Amino acid sequence: MGARSPEPSAADDAVLESVVRFGRALRDVGLAASVDRELTFCRALAEVDVRCREQVGAAARASFVSDPGELTAFEVVFARFWEGASLSLEAVAEHGETDPRMPGPQHGGESLPQFRRELTASRMLGAGETRASREIPSRPGEELGRGERRGVLAAWSPVEVETDRERLALAREEVAAVRRLAEELRAAAPQRSSRRLKPSRGGGRLDLRRTLRNSLATDGEAMRPVYATPSRRPRRLLFLCDVSGSMERYSRALLASLQASVAAGIRAEAFVFATRLTRVTGPLAGHDVAGALERARGLVADWSGGTRIGAALADFNARYACLGLARGAVVIVVSDGWDRGDPAVLERELERLRRQCRRLAWLNPRPGELRGQPLATGMRVALRHVDDFVPGHDPRAAGDLARLIRGLGAGRPRRRQRAVASEAR
Amino acid sequence: MRAFESIEELGQALADQRYLVDDELATVVFLALRLRKPLLVEGEPGVGKTELAKALAAASEAPLLRLQCYEGIDVAHALYDWDYPRQLLHLRAGGSSPLYSEQFLLRRPLLEALSHRGCVLLIDELDRADDEFEAFLLEFLSDFQVTIPEVGTVGGGEPPAVIVTSNRTRELHDALKRRCMYHWIEHPDLAREVAIAQARLPEVPLPLVRQVCAFVQELRWLDLHRVPGVGETLDWTRSLAELGGGEVEPDTAGRTLGSLLKGRDDLERVRGGELASLVERARERGREVA
C-alpha cells in the first residue's frame, strides 16, 4: 500500500471522539478493538453514507469484528453507539450485561461472581499485592474461609485442594509442574510427516534449487546432488474433557494438564464439556498458567453440571470435526462415562468421531477403588468404540500423561473392518 | 481495473455477473476496495466465498489470480521460483547471461498479482496453509511489495484487490486479521436464495426453484451433520430440472437427494419418514413466496 491517506476529512472532532469511545466500549466487552482498527473504521466512515445505519454498521463490523462469535457483543455496543447513548462503563454495566472488572464477553444469568475475582490467579502465582487483593478488601489469606465454598467453587478453590485426600502440590510448585508437563509433552508428542521438505543426506527427491546453487562453485557442473525429504511435524492432539459434577475432583488438574498441552506448542486442541461443549484452546494458550486457567474457567458455563457426553460429542462433530479438526488427529476423551444422555447418541457420535481421527483413546480417571463395580453406562457403550481404553488414570499424576501419549503413539490401531452403524441397531 | 463510485454500482455490477450480494456485503467489498485492504471472508462451506472473488474479478474487468493454499505451501509455490531445468540447459549450452535474472524467473500468483496493474487476488482457504506461510503473507498483505534479492523490488504500484477465504479449520493469527476487513457470510434466507438460484439458473422454471429453495431452507432447520449450502442447492435444482417435472416430488426428491446431502446418516435421516412432510411444507412455502 502506498502512503497512508491523511485523516479523513469527514471525520471531524465529534466523529473521531465517538469512534474512540466506541472502540473503548468494544474493548470493554472483549473485542480486540485496537487503534489501527479504529483508524480503519474512521477511513471507512469517510467512504460510506454516515446517515445510513446499515452502511455504518457494515463498516464497523468489517473493521472491528474478526470472529462470528463476537457478533452478539458487537451488536449490543453498536446499537448504543448508533443511538448516541453514553458508552461509558457504568452505562453498559447498568445494562446488566457486563461486569467492568472482567475482560471478555459475559452472558447474563450465568454469572459466577466468585470466579470473577482474580483471587485464584494471584494465589497460584504466590503474588502479594495484586489488583485483585486491592479490589477485595480482605487479604487473600483471610479470604479463604472454610466451609463457604461448596459445589461449583469447591472443584476449583485452593481450600478444596488442602482438604483433598490426594493433595496437590502448593500453588507455586503446581505452576512449575504444569511447565514441566509441557516440556515432557513436547518430547512425547506424536508426529506425522509433513508436505514441507527438508534437506537430507541422500534419499528423497532431488532438490534442484540447492543443487544448482552448489553447482555455481563448479562452473555450472552439478557435481553434488542435494536431496530433500518430507519433514516431521507434530500430529494434532485433541482433548475432549468431561468437567461435569462427577468429575469434579479431577477437573482442576485436568484443566491444568490441558493448559500444559496447549502451551507446549504441539498443535494440541482442548475442549471441555458437561452438558455442552466449550472450546478452550484459545483461552488456555500463553505462558501465564494461572491467568490462562482463570480465563478458560470463566468461559465454561456448565462447569460441574450434568453430563451428556453423547450430545457434547455430537456438538463437536457438527461444529468442529466437519472442519477437519479431527482428521488424522489423536483424540483423547477424558471422562468417567457417567452419562445422563441417550447411550444410542453416544454410540453414534463416537463412531462418527472414530471414522475421522487417527486414534481414539478414552481415559477414565476413576481410580481402582471402584474396580469390581459395574462400569457406568456411558463407559460400557464407549468401550466398544474406542481404540484404547486407559482406566484409573489420575490426571493429577501429571507426568503420566506424557508417558501415556508417547505410549499411544501416532500409529493407526488395528480396527475392526466392518460397518459399525448396522451393528448398532 | 474498473473503479466503483458507489455501493449500489458495485452491487449492480456483481449482480450482472449473477452474483447477488446483500447491502452489508456490498458495503464491505466497496470499503475493502476503497481502503485498499484485503478482505477476509469466512462462512460455512458452500455459501459462495470463492465465487465472490470470481464475480468481483469479472465485474471489475480485471484478471483473477488464484492461490489455493494447502499444507506445506511455501514461497517457491506462492511467490516465485527459478526455472532450474532452463538454467541448467542454459549453462550446458554455454550461455553467458546471468542465471538469476528475469529470464529465468517463474512468477507465481502473488508475484504475478504485484506485476499486474490492478487485478483480483484470491487467496483461497488460507487456514489450510501452515503458520509459517501465514507469517510470510502478513508482510505481503501490508506492503504489497516483495524483494527478490537477485532482481530487486517488485510492486509498489496499484495494489491488487485481495480476497482471503478461510473455512475456520484453525484460527488465523490476530495480526493477519487486523490487516484485513472481515465479513462472515451466512446462509441466505429464502427470498435471497430464490433470487440467487434464479439468477444462476435462468432456464429452470421459477415454481420449481421456489420449492427447491424452500425445501433446502427446511433442511437447514434440521439437526443435520452437514447443512447444504447454496452450491448444493444449485446442484439439486439442476438435477431435478434434468429429470423433468415442474415440482418437487417425494419420489424424485428421494432419488436425487445425494446432490444435496453428502453423508449416509443425513440421507437416511431425511429419507426415513420425514421426506414426504418436508416436500409438502416446501411446496406450501414455495407457493407462499410466489
Side-chain-side CA neighbours of A35 within 13 Å: the count stands at 0
B226 shares its domain with B160 = no
B163 shares its domain with B22 = yes
B200 shares its domain with B118 = no
**Residues of B with CB below 8 A from A323's CB?**
167-169
Of A58, A208, A322, the CB nearest to B24: A58
Which residue, of A40, A66, A94, is where some domain finishes? Answer: A94
Mean pLDDT, range A91-117, rounded to an integer: 39
CB B80 within 8 A of CB B140: no
pLDDT of amino acid A397: 65
CB A236 within 8 A of CB A267: yes
Of A2, A36, A63, the CB nearest to B181: A63
Inform me whether the C-beta atom of residue B140 falls under 8 Å from chain A C-beta atoms. Answer: no
A256 shares its domain with A388 = yes
Q: Which residues, other chains included, contact A156 with Cβ-Cβ below 8 Å and sequence gap of 6+?
A: A115, A120, A251, A252, A297
Q: Nearest C-alpha of chain B: how many angstroms from A291?
A: 20
Burial class (CB in 10 A: 0-12, 13-18, 19+), B192: middle
**Starting at the edge strand that comes first in sequence, how are the strands of the sheet with B39-43 ordered?**
B64-68, B120-124, B161-166, B39-43, B181-185
Residue B97 lies in a domain: no
Interchain CB distance below 8 Å, B28 and A71: no
Neighbours of A40 (CB within 10 A): 23
Which residue, of A62, A94, A126, is where some domain finishes? Answer: A94
Quote the CA–CA distance of A282 and A269 in Å, as a whole number: 9
pLDDT digits (tens, 9 = 90+) for A306-338: 888 888 998 898 888 877 788 888 898 988 888
Mean pLDDT, range B93-111, rounded to an integer: 88
A278 shares its domain with A403 = yes
Interchain CB distance below 8 Å, A58 and B23: yes
Mean pLDDT, range A164-188, rounded to an integer: 65
Residue B95 lies in a domain: no
- Helix axes of A309-319 and A343-356: crossing angle, nearest 10 degrees: 40
Of B74, B144, B178, the CB nearest to A1: B144
Which residue, of B131, B155, B185, is where some domain finishes? Answer: B185
Query: Which residue range is the domain that position B255 belongs to?
Result: 190-289
Rounded (5°) CA angle B211-B217-B222:
125
**Residues of A with CB below 8 A from B72's CB?**
194-196
- Helix axes of A248-263 and A398-408: crossing angle, nearest 10 degrees: 60
Higher-pLDDT residue of A291 and A60 is A60
Interface of A with B (CB under 8 A): 1-2, 32, 34, 36-37, 40, 43-44, 47-48, 54-55, 57-59, 61-63, 65-66, 68, 71, 194-196, 208-209, 211-212, 215-216, 220, 222, 282, 317-318, 322-325, 348, 352, 421
Most confident of A252-256, A292-296, B126-130: B126-130
Quote the CA–CA distance of B165 and A244 in Å, as a whole number: 37
Higher-pLDDT residue of A192 and B34 is B34
Give CA separation, A246 vs A243, A312, B265, in Å. 8, 16, 32
Total domains present in chain B = 2
The runs of H, that is alpha helices, within chain B are 7-16, 23-35, 49-59, 75-78, 84-92, 109-115, 131-143, 174-179, 190-200, 206-221, 230-243, 250-256, 264-269, 275-289
Is pLDDT at B12 greater than 60 in this prediction?
yes
Total domains present in chain A = 3
Mean pLDDT, range B188-202, rounded to an integer: 93
B41 shares its domain with B181 = yes
pLDDT digits (tens, 9 = 90+) for A39-64: 999 999 988 888 888 899 999 999 99
Higher-pLDDT residue of A193 and A415 is A193
C-alpha cell at A332: 483423547
Q: B9: pLDDT confidence band, cut at 50, 70 and 90?
A: very high
CB A183 within 8 A of CB A265: no
Quote the CA–CA distance of B10 and B27 in Å, as a whole number: 9
Quote the CA–CA distance of A325 and A269 in Å, as a whole number: 9
A199 shares its domain with A281 = no
A376 shares its domain with A313 = yes
Do the bridges between strand A205-206 and strand A227-234 make them parallel or antiparallel, or are there none, so unpaired? antiparallel
This complex has an ipTM of: 0.81
* DSSP codes of every residue in B163-210: EEEE--SSPPPHHHHHHSEEEEEPPP-HHHHHHHHHHH-TTS-HHHHH
Q: Nearest C-alpha of chain A: how many angstroms from B14?
A: 18
For residue B185, the cross-strand partners are B43
Is pLDDT at A123 greater than 90 in this prediction?
no
Q: Which residues, other chains included, contact B106 with Cβ-Cβ below 8 Å and sequence gap of 6+?
A: B80, B81, B82, B83
- Pairs across A and B, CB distance < 8 A: 111
Q: Which single residue is written with the C-alpha cell 504444569?
A: A178
Quote the CA–CA distance of A269 and A252 in Å, as a whole number: 17
B155 shares its domain with B35 = yes
Do the bridges between strand B161-166 and strand B39-43 make them parallel or antiparallel, or are there none, so unpaired? parallel
A219 shares its domain with A336 = no
In this predicted structure, which of A79-88, A163-172, A389-398, B184-193 has the lowest mean pLDDT? Answer: A163-172
A334 shares its domain with A221 = no
Interchain CB distance below 8 Å, B167 and A323: yes
**Residues of B with CB below 8 A from A225's CB?**
none
For residue A332, the cross-strand partners are A239, A361
CATH number, domain with residue B159? 3.40.50.300
Query: Which residue range is the domain that position A308 belongs to?
Result: 237-423
A241 shares its domain with A225 = no
Q: Which single residue is written with the C-alpha cell 446517515?
A: A51
Inform me whether the C-beta atom of residue B117 falls under 8 Å from chain A C-beta atoms. Answer: no
CB B51 within 8 A of CB B65: no
For residue B162, the cross-strand partners are B121
Higher-pLDDT residue of A310 and A415 is A310
B149 shares its domain with B244 = no
Quote the CA–CA distance of B104 and B101 in Å, as a whole number: 6
C-alpha cell at B59: 465485474
**Residues of B with CB below 8 A from A216's CB?**
99
B171 shares its domain with B51 = yes
- Mean pLDDT, chain B, rounded, equals 89
Q: Give this prediction's pTM.
A: 0.71
Burial class (CB in 10 A: 0-12, 13-18, 19+), B92: exposed
B173 shares its domain with B219 = no
Do the bridges between strand B152-155 and strand B181-185 make them parallel or antiparallel, or are there none, so unpaired? unpaired
> What is the distance of C-alpha A372 from the center of its chain?
36
**Residues of A with CB below 8 A from B99's CB?**
212, 216
Phi-psi region of B151 (alpha: psi -120 to 50; beta: other; left: phi over 0): alpha
> What's the sign of the alpha-carbon dihedral B207, B212, B213, B215?
positive
C-alpha cell at A114: 466468585
Quote the CA–CA distance of A30 and A98 in Å, as a whole number: 10
**Helix (H, G, I), strand (E, B), or coil: what is residue B220?**
helix
A219 shares its domain with A257 = no
Phi, then psi, of A269 in degrees rounded to 5: -120, 135
